[in-house]
Copies of this chain bind each other. A is one copy, B any other.
């Protein structure tokens, strides 16, 4: 265990992400300035980080709340997620996970390889009791102005019914404890509203969820991610990931498309100019970097995995998400609820 001050102690994977290490270190500086209680382990290749840090000429009071932890290599997007188990034991994401496991840090933040971050968190930090597969949760702003939690959004491909069930329970706890939604309305993503619609996997998950003490509404459809009818929607990570990436691109394209329509004539140009401040506020609401990153629920410690394309601002917000999750004791709540709720689904008790 590394000796470190009190406060929220986060291990930051400085080497992961499209714009690493520069954007990650800039995000670290912003986060340190925003959170006086934050202590950061900067995990990465010291010879690469040191000159960048020098050039950034970070304030001394911020530097005091950091410690460089050497990691010899990085997981690239071409690597398999399991590369951290053997070939890349000294990778930044795995070293960060060890810092959480040995109690030096409360959580880790990475913009790198999603699968590798999941494997590192699961294998090194371990999973919570009752969780077979940790899952990535995305908090999406729906059209009623409230959040909808979609999970899993990328960590797990080829889920079994019990995985979907666990995602639903973890999502419900997260919505209740962190987002403050009383009695969250939970659904399983499917291709029709009726229980009879869906894949073999979703139908079995729906059956299991009907047997436990959860505000479970049944099947949700794609449209329910945005219409506010559900607070939590559980699905296989393949579907969740495809929907998340599709939605990001569609939203970005629509907003840009509407902005472009303003250029069609002089009066629509003037109209666009007058509406610009309102449009900017709306655009900001849709910016994924505002949400910081997706929490990997179900691991022993906090793991926040950000978008590979994250800039410094997104990195800062991902660190903020880790601090908030730690502050709210999310994992204790998840573990308690999983134990309580899933015991109700035991044979003979439903």
Residues on A facing B (Cβ under 8 Å): 77-78, 80, 142-143, 154, 157-158, 189-192, 194, 196, 198-200, 221-227, 235, 237-239, 241-251, 253-258, 261-262, 264-265, 267-268, 270-279, 281-282, 286
- Known contacts A221-B245, A238-B239; is A253 also within 8 Å of B227 by CB? yes
Q: Are A222 and B198 in contact (CB under 8 A)?
A: no
Residue of B with least CB distance to A237: B191
Residue of B with least CB distance to A194: B78
Question: What 8 new A-B contacts, CB under 8 Å, besides A258-B279, A261-B282, A275-B275?
Answer: A143-B249, A191-B238, A222-B247, A243-B243, A254-B286, A257-B282, A267-B274, A270-B271
Which residues of chain B have C-beta atoms less than 8 A from A282's C-beta? 257-258, 261
A223 CB to closest chain B CB, in angstroms? 4
- Known contacts A239-B242, A282-B257; is A249 also within 8 Å of B274 by CB? no
Can you report 27 residue pairs joining A to B where beta carbons are below 8 Å apart?
Answer: A77-B192, A80-B196, A143-B249, A157-B191, A158-B199, A189-B242, A191-B242, A198-B238, A199-B238, A221-B242, A221-B245, A222-B244, A222-B248, A222-B249, A223-B246, A223-B249, A225-B246, A226-B250, A226-B253, A239-B242, A246-B246, A257-B282, A261-B275, A261-B278, A261-B279, A268-B278, A270-B271
Number of copies: 2
A110 CB to closest chain B CB, in angstroms? 16
Report Cα–Cα, A253/B225, bound state, in Å.
Answer: 11
Which of B241, B255, B273, B286 is within 8 Å of A222, CB to CB? B241
A265 CB to closest chain B CB, in angstroms? 7
Q: Are B261 and A249 in contact (CB under 8 A)?
A: no
Q: Are A191 and B271 in contact (CB under 8 A)?
A: no
Which residues of chain B have C-beta atoms less than 8 A from A243's C-beta? 222, 242-243, 246
Which residues of chain B have C-beta atoms less than 8 A from A191's C-beta? 154, 157, 237-238, 241-242
- Known contacts A199-B238, A253-B227; is A265 also within 8 Å of B278 by CB? yes
Residue of B with least CB distance to A228: B253
Which residues of chain B have C-beta atoms less than 8 A from A257's C-beta? 143, 282
Residue of B with least CB distance to A247: B250
